[in-house]
């Protein structure tokens, strides 16, 4: 399902999954999806709260708090674009990177 919701040229700025976490950038859907897949296997109860969506024509910005069991809440920003009548993520920025 994730592969259908990300743009082929998505940019992911987020944790490398290590402790302490470092900010890393993954460009392209294959690299980003691979990193998310690895990270989500080790995280329980992942969810977004306080979601705020701003639409501007065929683009959107989503700001929220990312939460998971055993992990401090942190800000996350997702940018999306309408492509062929489907909203696809184009950029995701989360801790420890700045949005």
Which residue ranges form the domains of the chain, and what is each CATH number? 2-94 (3.10.450.50)
Give per-residue burial for 53-84: e unless 16+ CB within 10 Å, then b: eeeeeeebebbbebbbeebeebebbbbbbeee
Q: What is the pLDDT of residues 18-72, one digit of tens each?
A: 878 889 999 998 888 888 887 777 677 888 999 999 999 999 999 999 888 777 8
Q: What is the pLDDT of residues 65-94, one digit of tens each?
A: 988 877 788 999 999 999 999 999 999 999
- pLDDT computed for residue 99 by the predictor: 54
Mean pLDDT confidence for 2-28: 87
| Greatest Cα pair distance in the chain | 40
What pTM did the predictor assign? 0.84
Question: Sign of the CA dihedral 94, 59, 51, 44?
Answer: negative
- pLDDT computed for residue 1 by the predictor: 60
């Amino acid at each position: 399902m994730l592969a259908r919701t990300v743009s082929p040229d998505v940019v992911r700025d987020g944790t490398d999954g290590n402790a302490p976490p470092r900010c890393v950038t993954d460009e392209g859907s294959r690299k980003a999806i691979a990193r998310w897949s690895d990270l989500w296997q080790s995280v329980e109860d992942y969810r977004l709260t306080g979601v705020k969506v701003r639409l501007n024509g065929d683009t959107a910005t989503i700001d929220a708090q990312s939460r998971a069991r055993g992990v401090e809440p942190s800000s996350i920003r997702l940018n999306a674009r309408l492509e062929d009548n489907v909203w696809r993520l184009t950029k995701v920025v989360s801790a420890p990177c700045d949005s």
